[in-house]
Structure 1
Amino acid sequence: MEKLTVGDLTIWWLNGGVTFMDGGAMFGVVPKPLWSKKYPVNDKNQIELRTDPMFLQLNGKNILIEAGIGKGKLTEKQKRNYGVVEETAIEESLRELGLTTADIDIICMTHLHFDHACGLTIWENDQLIPVFPNATIYTSQVEWDEMRNPNIRSRNTYWPENWEPIQHQVKTFENMIMIEDRIKIIHTGGHSDGHSIIQIESNGEKLIHMADLMPTHAHKNPLWVLAYDDYPMTSIFAKEKFISEAINENSWFTFYHDAFYRALKWDKEGNIIAEVKKQ
């Protein structure tokens, strides 16, 4: 289990599952000869994408960022379409840390697409129940509204089974919210209308989690946005702003989807100057 120290905080990556998604969709209008130099692709034109939540402890609270792809939630057809080769093993990851899913106090959700939110609920005795029954789940109000009332495009990723069992646990915010004095969740839009990013600061060190505005290290170029993005120009403007700011502040960039890097730092010339690789 990989970890990163930021100031006096330690971030651990849990095992949230593995998908293989279409590389063309993940890089939008960028030609394959360009993006395939930066991220490996298989003979089905698929790229490996993790769905691994981050865990940290702060002010006596056990906190997750994202929730994994879930376990026992997807049909065989869905597994095939999304290239799911491994489902969530978050319970096992937490056990390594001496914890259970009931010990999680806070979950910070950047957005609620199925590959982030399926891990919030699970089937038990023919009914769906919360995986983390004692957690407060934070997401933007815009995201929560669309999750419950998806449009013709977004209904393919906002599923009732991922929100109905946990709706009593959800707490929303408008533009920004500060969690436990250190974790800032900022609504950006772009990938989805309600998409957010996360910034963490501890003892002068900083971390930024760009979520699906930058799902892998290969998406650093502000113009390299996903075909899945509902509002690509919003994604581009947000990437221009937050990536440059984070590099100037010597921030760590962390990843939920990247199959090769858990976290890294770039200098102003685009060189990787620090890294935590997926083992």
Structure 2
Amino acid sequence: MDSIQIGEINIYWLRGGYTHFDGGAMFGVVPKPLWEKKYPANEKNQLANVTDPMFFRYLGKNYLIDSGLGNGRLTEKQRRNYGVTEESFVLDDLAKLGVAPEDIDYILMTHLHFDHVLGLTGISEEGNYSIFPNAEIWTSDIEWDEMRHPNVRSKATYWQENWEAIEGQIHTFAKEKEFNDAIKMTHTGGHSNGHAVIWLDFAGEKAIHMADIFPTFAHQNVLWVTAYDDYPMTSISAKQEIFQQTFGKNYWFLSYHDARFRAVKIGENGEITSELKIKNRN
């Protein structure tokens, strides 16, 4: 599986599913002749998107970032609408690393949309159950509130069956949560009202996971936001602020959705200075 070393820490991408989202939805008001030069669509105007969680170990604790599509969680109609061609192999990939589901200590959820949260629960004859029963699951308090009380728009992605089995494991933060000297989450809003990003600093080597306010590296233009963003102006402001802090500062940008690149570094003028392509997804 693909991995990257940040300081002394190895971050592994786990196979969480493969989708094909509508190109217009992924790039919103941006005209297709512009975005298709940076991220080509298929004959159905769909863009290939992975939904690949990240795993790493730090100070003796096991971390996941988001959880993938899970298995058997989508109906046939949903799989068709979302262009799902592959469900999750997260548990298989963890097993290759010698990690059992019970060994996961922390799950950092950037937000709780279906394509990020489905992998937290499984289905049995008795109903839904937590796949990672010993983990603390962290998200922003705003995100958790909306998950349980969605509005007329967000109820399409916040499903009751996605939170009931994990309710007792949820931990929330307001603006920022520092886990230790190397890992923190900060609330941004934008894509969802409670969306968060994850900052990593291992021995001075830095990375950031911007999740769905920077869903693919074709979205580098701060004005290019998805039609899925509930608060696009907030996404734009968050991207501007983060890019000012990180461009040219030797940060790795990590991706959950980009089907071409796992990570890139971006120079002060917006040029890609380093890249890690997807190579080993089998």
TM-score range, shorter chain: over 0.9
AA of the residue aligned to 1:31: P
Mapped partners of 1:59, 1:180: distance in 2: 9
- The question of whether the paired residues in 1 share the 8 Å contact of 2:109 and 2:139 is answered with yes
Matches within 5 A, 1:174-193: 174-193=174-193
Report SS of the residue matched to 2:40. Answer: coil
Normalising to structure 1: TM-score of the pair?
0.99
After TM superposition, list the pairs within 5 Å mapping 1:29-178 onto structure 2: 29-178=29-178
Q: Quick check: 1:67–1:120 contact (8 Å CA) kept in 2?
A: yes
Report the CA distance between 1:270 and its aligned residue: 2.3
- 2:212 corresponds to which residue? 212
Q: Distance in 2 between matches of 1:99 and 1:203?
A: 24
Q: Which amino acid in structure 1 is aligned with residue 147 of structure 2? A: M
Tell me which residue corresponds to 1:245: 245
CA contact (8 A) 1:121 1:130 kept: yes
8 Å CA contact retained: 2:140, 2:194:
yes
Unmatched runs of 5 consecutive residues or more in structure 1 = none
2:3 corresponds to: 3
Match of 2:274 in 1: 274
The one-letter amino acid of 2:76's match is E
Which residue is equivalent to 2:198?
A: 198
TM-score scaled by length of structure 2: 0.98
Deviation track 1:148-178 (CA, whole Å, cap 9, x = no partner) reads 0000000000011110000000000000001
Cα distance in 1 for partners of 2:28, 2:79 equals 22
Q: How many aligned positions are there?
A: 279
Instruction: Name the CA distance, whole Å, in 2 between partners of 1:179 and 1:111.
Output: 17
> After superposition, what is the alpha-carbon deviation per residue over 1:122-155, rounded to whole angstroms, capped at 9, x for unaligned?
1022410001111000000000000000000000
Q: 2 CA distance for matches of 1:187 and 1:112?
A: 13
Q: Is 1:58–1:180's contact at 8 Å kept on the other side of the alignment?
A: no
How much does 1:225 deviate?
0.4
Runs of 4+ in 1 over 3 A off after TM superposition: none
Aligned to 2:244, what secondary structure does the other structure show? helix
| Partner residue in 1 for 2:255 | 255
User: Could you tell me which amino acid in structure 2 is paired with residue 51 of structure 1?
Assistant: T
The answer as to whether partners of 2:191 and 2:228 remain within 8 angstroms in 1 is yes
* 3-state SS, counterpart of residue 158 of structure 2: coil
CA offsets, 1:57-109, max 9 Å, x none? 01100100010011100000000001111001101000110111111110000
